[in-house]
Amino acid sequence: MDLTMIRLALVLFVAAAGWAAEPHETAYAQSVEPFLKRYCAACHSSANKTAGLDVMALRGTDRWYDVLEKTRGGEMPPVGMPRPKADELAAATRWMEAQVERMLAASTPDPGRVTARRLNKVEYTNTIRDLLGITLRAADDFPNDDSGYGFDNNGDVLSLSPVLMEKYLSAAELISRTVIPPATPAKMTLHRVTSDKAKGDPSPGGMAITHRFPYWAEYEIEGRAAIVRGKGRFFLALYVDGQHIQTNEVFPGDGPNRLVTVRIPVEPGDHRIRTVFVDEKNEPISFGDTSQLVTDYIGVRGPFANAELGMAPAQRRLLVCAEKTTACAEQIAAALLPRAWRRPVTAEETARVAGLVSRGKSFEHGVQLALQAVLVSPQFLFRVERDAPGMRAIDDYELATRLSYFLWSSMPDAELARAAGEGQLRAGLDGQVKRMLADRKAEAFVENFAGQWLQLRNLETARPDPEKFPQFDDGLRDAMLQESKRFFAHVLREDRPVTEFLDADYTFANERLAKHYGLEGVVGSAMRRVPAAAKRGGVLAQGAVLTISSYPTRTSPVLRGKWVLENILGTPPPPAPAGVPPLEVSKVGVANSLREQLEKHRANANCAVCHSKMDAVGFGLENYDAIGNWRDKDGAFPIDSAGALPGNKRFSSPMELRAMLKKEPGQFVRALTEKMLTYALGRGVERYDRATVLKISNRTAAAEYRMSALLAGIVESLPFQYRRGVAK
């Protein structure tokens, strides 16, 4: 797609829009000019340029976009000023949309410029996994990644400090030793983790740990169970990386502790071991039996040598030849480098890396040294794209890398590399996206995009007051998190309308979460799709979102309103001014309702500027307490959930709020487009990206808001497939 075709497509898009039956100029004179004079010119005129804006002198300027956003979002005219009738607002908005389309079509396309982007911690771990075939969480020891524009894959904030460089060197050494282990047999060890030292597990009485296995060998894995009290038959199941390994019956009553033991071969790296109490059908037991079951500990003993195992799979993957010669070293380098550096490599680069093998104490040690050099090179640690004057289409290898880190948070696989090498990637882009979303690696998109867009990562550190909310525990926390992730994954994989994020007739729950929500007929610890009650449906009614937007002891209309403005409407409020007194909450629910306290807070003129918007939205979620449970009272006071969206669009309950957002989803779709484009590009969305955002959101709306249309719009967009280079 060259620049001429891009401009032509934009012009045709505008021509086909058909915003009004009458000519553009006539529509301005008849509908827009009177609208501006009546509702805007009092504050925005040549005599009184509030915000530097004279609405009667906008012709030919790009300020129309700002006016459209304020008007369409209901922020202008402000509350208290004369409000236009619905037909007046609709006519003016249609004209402004057409005007913006014309301006954007006539503007010079600018794809923006993405800096060389360092792999963040998640991308590093996933890339090592897909490059070498081992799961090794070496990046856990790295400093935390900073976030920019809400995401931790932003190129402008992913710096490389001396401390991080030291960590990269140590990680490369650890990885090389894990892939190419020493020939000396390992000393057998026994490692046990007791339940009081392990992180809580959502299954009743279950336990989960992550254990680092140093060598390719056999290991004995055991879980010790105790039945505290109760009758019936109980079984303890062992899982490694989600795969069922062994199930044994454990005695009921006050009998002795019972072991479940199995010896299996395990590849080197970090593996998750979990115990789950199950019934005779190997189904996880219900949460009603939690007091009866305990996992005392999980133990790992080994390694046990077994010559029949042969070479470790990761080692075979790296050592593509058996001869310990220079030619073999070059074969190893030639197979490794294009995958590690995500591009074709030169003969000189291959020879330079292969030459490091000769510096080792042995051939295997030399391969370790070569691998370490590859893993600390800028070509591996950074996503580097070729720079050139002006604007250019990125090549197919660069496109494959952008696509894979967007959807998988990892390196391109063999199929993407093949398509890039044959020059067929762009032609088959739609098929590649479908293939990638069907792959398990797409869970990374749910984890990293949804986890940051919806701020689900904050649930890990949420600490609701145990005295006020004793029912909140690790099992409920995990169920809330899984509900939101499963919900997003369902919309993604089933190609559902993105408007279901606003209000859906279903959600995902297990027995623990269903009881919390008051849903009946859900038994067992497995998450499944269930019909949503009238009080549930969409992300705004999900426990994870409601908990992270609350304080430990109470709800916060301020935090919840801010969350909606930022993540649903794309209109974040400015930071609070310095010196603003905190909200007095000591008597909330006793002497005053929270609404009354906030009304006093808004009496401060410095507070009212932002709180009038945030509080009006946040009050709509007050029926949900600080951990997402429905309530009709806050202490002694009945809940008043009446509020308003920007533009004084009033609602009286959470259900009305969600329905109102879904009825007019345009602003949400544009906000979601900006969020996803930010994540996909690794940079913030700028003014010159407006044409792209508008085109993608309109395309999504025309396709009944399907998720596939949003994703296709992003991966086919100008900023995703092009880059602005250095100035001439």
The kind and range of the H/E element at 280 are none
Q: Which two tokens stand for residue 36?
A: 């501006």
The kind and range of the H/E element at 405 are helix 396-407
Mean pLDDT in residue range 513-535:
92
377-390 tens-digit pLDDT:
999 999 999 988 88
Beta bridge partners, 275, equal 207, 238
Q: Report the chain's mean pLDDT, rounded to a whole number.
A: 88
Coil, helix or strand at residue 657: helix
Is the four-CA dihedral 321, 324, 327, 331 of positive or negative sign?
positive
| Residue predicted with more confidence, 418 or 580 | 418
Is 222's pLDDT higher than 70?
yes
Q: What is the pLDDT of residue 202?
A: 67
- E strands, 305-419, are 382-383, 391-393
Mean pLDDT in residue range 525-541:
93
Is 706's pLDDT higher than 70?
yes
DSSP single-letter state for residue 3? H
Q: What is the pLDDT of residue 90?
A: 82
CA R_g for the chain: 29
CA distance 75 to 61: 21
- For the chain, the residue count is 728
Q: Which two tokens stand for residue 525?
A: 């610890």
Q: What is the pLDDT of residue 54?
A: 86
* Residue 24 contacts residue 95 (beta carbons within 8 Å): yes
One DSSP character per residue, 191-252 reads EEEETTTSBP-SSTT-EEEEEEE-SSEEEEEEEEEEE-S--S-EEEEEEETTEEEEEEEE--
Is 561's pLDDT higher than 90?
yes
Q: What is the pLDDT of residue 9?
A: 46
Q: How confident is the model at residue 611 (pLDDT cuts 50, 70, 90)?
A: low
441-481 tens-digit pLDDT:
999 999 999 999 999 999 999 999 999 999 999 889 999 99
Coil, helix or strand at residue 156: coil
Q: What is the pLDDT of residue 203?
A: 75
Is 592's pLDDT higher than 80?
no
Q: Which two tokens stand for residue 307?
A: 């010559």
| Residue predicted with more confidence, 109 or 509 | 509
What structural domains and CATH numbers belong to the chain?
3-106 (no CATH), 189-309 (2.60.120.260), 447-663 (no CATH)
One DSSP character per residue, 469-534 reads -TT--HHHHHHHHHHHHHHHHHHHHTT-BGGGGT--SEEEE-HHHHHHHT--S--SS--EEEEPPT
160-179 tens-digit pLDDT:
999 999 999 999 999 999 99
- Burial group, residue 638, by CB count within 10 angstroms (0-12, 13-18, 19+): exposed
Is the four-CA dihedral 597, 603, 606, 609 of positive or negative sign?
positive
Mean pLDDT in residue range 664-682:
97
Q: How confident is the model at residue 235 (pLDDT cuts 50, 70, 90)?
A: confident
DSSP single-letter state for residue 418? H
Is 332's pLDDT higher than 90?
yes
Please state which of the ranges 125-129, 230-234, 513-517 shows the lowest mean pLDDT.
230-234
**Residue-wise over 262-278: b if at least 16 C-beta within 10 A, else e?**
eeebbbbbbbebbbbbb
